[in-house]
Structure 1
Amino acid sequence: MPAHQSDIPADEDFQLLAHLESGRAIIGEAQFLPGYSLLLSGVPGVDRLTDLPRSARVAFLADMEAVGEAVERVCQRDSDFRRINLEIQGNLTPKLHAHIWPRYEWEPAAVRFHQVARHPKERWHDPATRLGPQHTPLRDALRAELAIVVKQNQSMPNG
């Protein structure tokens, strides 16, 4: 099962990608799918998207899409990049958060076209792919691209 991170991680500064309207975007600790990121709601006590008023729901979904677009732009630099999966689950952690998963051609065939949660348990906790200093260039690229996406979205009509 995934290492859920809906509370602010111990090393927030390293993981933080951006403060957004609806919460914080962070790079995930489990980087077996490079670029994995999360959007953590900034509203205390909110478990479900439907717990928010409509305007806050729209803001959360817009921020989730912006993080997804930034992750896609960065990860498509890898020729094996396939797509982005956006998920709001909350099955284990009762705090509103979204997972942004890049998907790649090199993923094992048994899980390539299924939910990320089907990846073997060992992958979730593999020290070789745990977030660390080796991910600084990826994190920095995600931060920069997310800033660009947010700025572009703000300049769009109704953005």
Structure 2
Amino acid sequence: MGDWRTDRIGSARRGENPTVLARMPSGFAVIGDVQWLPGYCVLLADGPEIGGLSDLPRDKRLEFLGSMAELSRAVEIACDELYDGFRRVNVEILGNTDPYLHAHVWARYEWEPAELIGKPVWLYPSEHWSDPATALGPDHDTLRAAIVRHLSEPI
């Protein structure tokens, strides 16, 4: 078994991806490897051959977008419950780096630096992606449980 990070979708299918929160109708809800903005999650489309949203037939596009909305809602409720200064959730489908369809769900906070609070998270310094202080770990178990709980609630 290789590193699950090299095949995030395949490892999720095999039950080997430790970041999986839930199986969604269109893929997998996963919590981000980093949590400098607590609540960061990603929706992975089930199929690495899916390069982008337009590669899906209409019914599957709507299914993916519906799953994305459900994950966003769960993150919003969980972060509002758990963290002071929660503002909103930002959702992005970019496709600039990874060649498979996925959507980023970012919780945003009032306590973010003034020069970044109204801008895309990608403008944060690159060190945030590798800072051990904000890496996903056991201290995020309560957050994980809250997101999973809200994913399982009827809308």
When normalised by structure 2's length, the TM-score is 0.88
Quick check: 1:48–1:96 contact (8 Å CA) kept in 2? yes
2:113 corresponds to which residue?
Answer: 108
CA shift, 1:43, in A, is 2.6
1:96 corresponds to which residue?
Answer: 101
2:151 corresponds to which residue?
Answer: 146
CA shift, 1:129, in A, is 0.5
**Judging changes above 3 Å, is the alpha-carbon distance between structure 1 residues 74 and 139 closer, same or farther for their aligned structure 2 residues?**
same
Once the two structures are superposed, what CA deviation does each residue of 1:48-88 show, in whole Å capped at 9, x if it has no partner? Answer: 10000000000000000000000000011223001000000
Cα distance in structure 1, aligned partners of 2:143 and 2:95: 26
Q: CA RMSD in A?
A: 2.0
CA shift, 1:14, in A, is 3.2
Return 5+ residue gaps in structure 1 as ranges. Answer: 154-159
Quick check: 2:33–2:135 contact (8 Å CA) kept in 1? yes
CA shift, 1:136, in A, is 1.0
Higher relative contact order (CA 8 A, sep 6+): 1
CA shift, 1:133, in A, is 1.2
Match among 49, 56, 59 for residue 63 of structure 2: 59
Which aligned pairs between 1:66-77 and structure 2 lie closer than 5 A?
66-77=70-81
Provide runs of 4+ in structure 1 moved above 4 Å.
9-13
1:34 corresponds to which residue?
Answer: 38
For 1:138, what is the secondary structure of its paired residue?
helix
Matched, 1:132 2:129: no
2:87 corresponds to which residue?
Answer: 82
For 1:76, what is the secondary structure of its paired residue?
helix
Return 5+ residue gaps in structure 2 as ranges. Answer: none
